[in-house]
Amino acid sequence: MLCENCGGEFERHRSNQIYCSVACRNKRNSMIHYHDNTDKEKQRFQRYRRSGATAYNAIKQRCGNPGHIAFQNYGGKGVKCLINKDEFLKLYNTPTVCKICKWELNEDGSAPDGRTIDRINSDGNYEVDNVRIVCRSCNSRLTKSRKTIGLKSGCWTLLHDGHASALRFAASQCDWLIVLTNSDDRLAAKRGCVPLPLYDRMKLLSSLSYVDEVDWFSQRTEEEWVQKFKDQRFDKEFEEGAKLIVFHDPVIENSGHVPCQTIADEIVFIPYTPSAAAKTSVSQIFKLIKDHGV
């Protein structure tokens, strides 16, 4: 066995031992949790930072060690670790954003509130196709009931209180709210400009407490994205018998074409709420951006 700090060979005295000595362990921990003192921002204690090797060893323990405190919830229920260490480390260190909220994960392996591993199908094993990297806050939200899944799409270029009211209403009608936004190319084709880049829009949306997940689509229609979502993720990630609700603005109700009507289990039209950011004002802002580049 090679020590994870000094790289020297040593003989294990217990199954989860990864350092050759206490000195190596303490030195490694100090390197992980603290940064260069010359940079004020880097002096902060990285509370939730953990290496991929540590995360992998924790998975092996709770799946294969009957003496582990969490064994009854993992190995005791038949959950196995079927991913090897090299595959896991590649997966753990590759993502640049959380797979759910799309917040950026730092290059040093940390995140705004920690990087964690999540099983897409909570009844399945730890396999390459069944795990994803998410931040700690998203992982904690995944424990809540998800029997009704809500979906609301839009451009979300200039967020205002009307948007907030619509999303708050949608969140009150479902257990898990997914918000879709257009790619920059699609937005430019629809509006003629891109006032706010895709990543910034996704960060703003995911920062709303009542939004559980944010995603985007490019040249596909909304129906194509929803159909792919139902085929690839719905039965695998959510509870048995879960229902999909698609939310639309009230103007869609009388348009003659209601997107996703044949795919969703239910269509709900969001009640109109007067907004301080009136449609005319938003249109004027778009015109200024397009004409003058401001």
How far is 59 from 187, CA to CA, in rounded Å? 42
Q: What is the three-class DSSP state of 18?
A: coil
| DSSP-assigned states of every residue in 60-96 | HHHHH-TTSTTGGGTGGGT--B-S-HHHHHHHHHS-S
Cα atoms in the Cβ-side hemisphere of radius 13 Å centred on 164: 11
Pairs from 225-231 (Cβ < 8 Å, separation ≥ 24): 225/180, 226/151, 226/260, 226/263, 226/264, 227/263, 229/151, 230/263
Tell me: the pLDDT tens digits for 107-144?
Answer: 544 445 567 888 988 888 999 999 988 877 788 777 77
- 283 Ramachandran zone, left/alpha/beta (phi>0; psi -120 to 50): alpha
SS3 8: coil
- Quick one: pLDDT at residue 281? 55
DSSP 218-264: SSS-HHHHHHHHIIIIIHHHS-TT-EEEEEE-HHHHTSS--TTTTTS
**Of the spans 24-38, 88-102, 149-163, which averages the highest pLDDT?**
149-163
In this structure, are strands 148-154 and 115-119 parallel, antiparallel, or unpaired? unpaired
What rounded mean pLDDT belongs to the chain?
78
Domains and CATH numbers, the chain: 1-37 (no CATH), 46-141 (3.30.40.220), 148-292 (3.40.50.620)
Q: Residue 239 phi/psi, 5° resolution?
A: -65, 155
Handedness of CA 233, 134, 64, 108 (dihedral sign): positive
User: Cα-Cα-Cα-Cα dihedral of 160, 161, 166, 170, to 10°?
Assistant: 100
Instruction: Measure the CA–CA gap between 118 and 62, rounded to whole angstroms.
Output: 14
pLDDT at 61: 92
pLDDT tens-place string over residues 38-73: 444 444 434 444 577 888 999 999 999 998 888 988
pLDDT in tens, 100-109: 877 776 654 4
* 101, 214 Cβ separation under 8 angstroms: yes
pLDDT in the model for residue 283: 62
Distance in angstroms (rounded) separating the CA atoms of residues 269 and 288: 31
pLDDT score for 221: 77
What pLDDT is stored for residue 27 in this prediction?
Answer: 57
Q: Where are the beta strands (DSSP E) in 130-233?
A: 131-135, 148-154, 176-182, 213-217
Q: What is the pLDDT of residues 208-229, one digit of tens each?
A: 888 988 988 876 678 888 888 8
What's the pLDDT score for residue 82? 93
What is the structure's pLDDT at 136?
76
pLDDT at 150 over 90: yes
Please give the model's pTM, rounded to 2 decimal places: 0.62
